[in-house]
Structure 1
Amino acid sequence: MIRCGVLAAAVGVGMSWGAALAQEEKPAQGWAPAASWAIAPWTRAATAPVIRPDAAAVFVDPLTHAQVHWEALHTFNPAAVVRGGKVWVLYRAEDDSGAMAIGGHVSRLGLAVSEDGVHFVQRPQPVFYPADDAQRSRESPGGVEDPRVVESPGGGYVMMYTQWSRERGSYSIGVATSDDLEHWTKHGPAFARALGGRYDELKYKSAGVVTEVRGSGAAAKLVAAKIHGHYWMYWGEIEVGLAWSDDLVHWTPVEESPGKTKVLLRARQGKADSGFPETGPPPVRTGRGIVLLYNAKNAEGAGGDARLAAGAYSVEEALFAADDPAKMLARTEDPVFRPELPFERSGQYAAGTTFAEGLVVFRGRWWMYYGTADSFVGVATAPMR
């Protein structure tokens, strides 16, 4: 059975989602407005989660051969693409196994589809999961997490995701490809054998491939972009780096010197990203440059932004030169989006989270899909300028 992911009331009492889009959110008092180059301001298209857990959904795990409630606890951290005039979201779903702690469950990826960007139909079974394949030791026990998806210029889709193994104590960016978003081929770690194999044992995650808008009107969509003959990817948490590829599957980190990656973003004292920055959705090459939305963790001790809860995740943006992905031109002073609603500040991660991973062009606007408190999926939109 296919089931509806949200109720019609998701946009709030007495307000349609169309009316909500008409009310552009303004920076709250004490917060700096977004820079002119930024994708902003962001307006919540729904004031409740658009994708929720479903304790009734079951799946026969290929490793244990047991029936599991694969999305019983949490559904969050979504990737998004537009295909056939609809929004397709791949989201991280946690089952009810393991310890009741962050990272203690098995994560798989579910698929949900929407006609209007807000009301989703969730598929009854996951479309991507740990299995008895070449990646088993990197994905079990633990799972597949936090996807980002881009469309290839030649057609088909490429997904970057986190491979997590509690047994190995390792995590890495895995790469997978698909023609239909439902059937996937795993290709292993993004940096496997790069630069003589010196990144083979690195613990790394969070990757967004640079895209650009192709087409116009209803046909507009984001597609992976080449710059100087290569594809480019921002990656990492705590420190954000850069990598390049010729085929979107095999990636090479950009280094300052052998074994030392070039760092483009670091934490800033007293800012919302004082804890660290982490790569968000696939960046976009615009007329002003490459806009990178990134997730910012507020420091949990001295040195954080006192306007946010300690440990809270918000969304910030950085601008890089259109012809030089390694050259940063500017950075927002304050978050462009932050936890405000109850479902964004309660749940598995109670400090508050608006964790952006999906960005699409749909109905003439930007749509950002984000995880909330490591528990649900939310959505916001911004005008295209």
Structure 2
Amino acid sequence: MQNYKLRRLSDQPIIKTSDVRPAVAGFEVLGAFNPATCLVNNEVIMLLRVAEAPLATQGYINVPLLEEHDGVPTLTVKHFPEPEQPYDPRVITLDGKVYLTSLSHLRLARSTDGIHFTIDDQPFLFPTRMDESFGIEDARITLLDGKYWITYTAVSEHGPGVGLAVTTDFKTVERVGMILPPPNKDVALFPQRINGLYYLLHRPMVSDIGKPSVWLAQSSDGVHWGNHQFLFGGRGLVDARYEWEGGKIGAGSEPLLTDEGWLVCYHGADPTHAYSLALALLDKDDPSVVLDRSQHPLLFPELPWEKEGFFPNVVFANGWVRWPDGRIWVYYGAADSGVGVAELVRG
């Protein structure tokens, strides 16, 4: 892992929040970030996370969410007086309940050169179920068994779980449903079966005991998952040299098979919530075996648009593509406000 580097291909974001139009009348786009990506016929397909919120009202917080009306999940806006004390711009507790201040969905974008993208005006996946009532976030795309499997974080008042949808053409999409219940997120599917089984990486969320860590699971059908086992966690708790992953940790995009093993991009966050990117290497025949990990972050927030935004000091990758000539481009969200791209190089 020590021979790999991430080299930015642009010192400016390739997608900015201002490039995306709101999908809901009376809403504004707060962020376009954390894209899932794949390569389809030499075209980069991207599923952006787009966070939208109702236009601001002086002295009030407007919370968008789904509520059931006559048994039908319906987009609703709740209005609350703005707290006098400082509050997290993303998550807020009002009247004893926790809400998100925006509603995220997945928006499709396309590019033939991997840099300049055409972004759809309408959502590709929008919350429609009560287990998605607080939004759909941070997708991953894996080509598997001739279909594109899309895993995403489905958020509701019960917490974040993992949803699955599949498509063959990125025109129509089928929701399979929730495959891992709350609290869980950061799911990345392996792009092929190993010893006849499907595998995925996931990140259970912990409370008083334990810390966030990357886990491995198996399945015979890709929908029902078991044999969950701890894979690796943040080393910053026991070694100050790894403080950059001492707060949070989670898997990024789908693992890539190389001659050395399965290459995994993951994110780590330090105690101040600054996010960086790193790599792990898993055995190709037994991905429960961790062969190597980065000793230092390969990418961390340095540029102004990576350090300043809706949620500052974040680089977060859940999409990469391997071009036919072997180049690997990593697409990353920056400060919950835009998208950057870097090339993974050796040497």
Determine the structure 1 residue equivalent to 2:221: 247
Contact 2:255–2:264 (8 Å) recurs in 1: yes
TM-score, L = length of structure 2: 0.80
Q: 1:258-293, CA deviations, whole angstroms, 9 ceiling, x for partnerless residues?
A: xxxx21111212211111211111111211111111
* CA-CA distance at 1:169 after TM superposition: 3.2
Q: 1:184-210, CA deviations, whole angstroms, 9 ceiling, x for partnerless residues?
A: 21111113xxxxxxxx4x410111112
* CA-CA distance at 1:139 after TM superposition: 0.8
2:11 alignment partner, one of 31, 35, 47? 47
Distance 1:180 1:152 in 2: 13
Distance 2:192 2:105 in 1: 28
SS in 1 for 2:130: helix
Distance 2:303 2:166 in 1: 35
Give the superposed CA RMSD: 1.9
Q: Which structure 2 residues correspond to residues 16-35 of structure 1 after superposition, within 5 A? A: 34-35=1-2
Contact 1:47–1:341 (8 Å) recurs in 2: yes
TM-score, L = length of structure 1: 0.72
Distance 1:189 1:326 in 2: 24
Contact 1:243–1:251 (8 Å) recurs in 2: no
| Structure 2 unaligned regions, length at least 5 | 55-61, 64-87, 91-99, 205-211
SS in 2 for 1:323: coil
Determine the structure 1 residue equivalent to 2:158: 169
| Structure 1 unaligned regions, length at least 5 | 1-33, 61-66, 192-199, 211-223, 256-261, 300-309
SS in 2 for 1:161: strand
Distance 2:19 2:329 in 1: 28
Contact 1:79–1:149 (8 Å) recurs in 2: yes
Determine the structure 1 residue equivalent to 2:336: 374
Determine the structure 1 residue equivalent to 2:250: 278
* CA-CA distance at 1:56 after TM superposition: 7.3
1:184 alignment partner, one of 160, 173, 187? 173
Distance 1:58 1:312 in 2: 28
User: Relative to 1, partners in 2 of residues 1:151 and 1:55: Cα closer, same or farther, differing over 3 Å?
Assistant: closer
Contact 2:33–2:50 (8 Å) recurs in 1: yes
Determine the structure 1 residue equivalent to 2:149: 158
Distance 1:317 1:145 in 2: 22
Distance 2:179 2:259 in 1: 29
* CA-CA distance at 1:330 after TM superposition: 1.5
One-letter amino acid of the counterpart of residue 76, structure 1: F
* CA-CA distance at 1:247 after TM superposition: 3.4
* CA-CA distance at 1:58 after TM superposition: 4.1
Determine the structure 2 residue equivalent to 1:204: 184
Distance 2:321 2:154 in 1: 24
Determine the structure 2 residue equivalent to 1:288: 260
Pairing 1:77–2:77 present = no
SS in 2 for 1:349: coil
Please, which moves more after superposition, 340-349 or 177-186? 177-186
Question: % of aligned pairs identical?
Answer: 31
Higher strand share: 2
Determine the structure 2 residue equivalent to 1:59: 23
* CA-CA distance at 1:74 after TM superposition: 0.4
Distance 1:239 1:296 in 2: 10
Determine the structure 2 residue equivalent to 1:107: 104
One-letter amino acid of the counterpart of residue 201, structure 2: Y
Number of paired residues?
A: 294
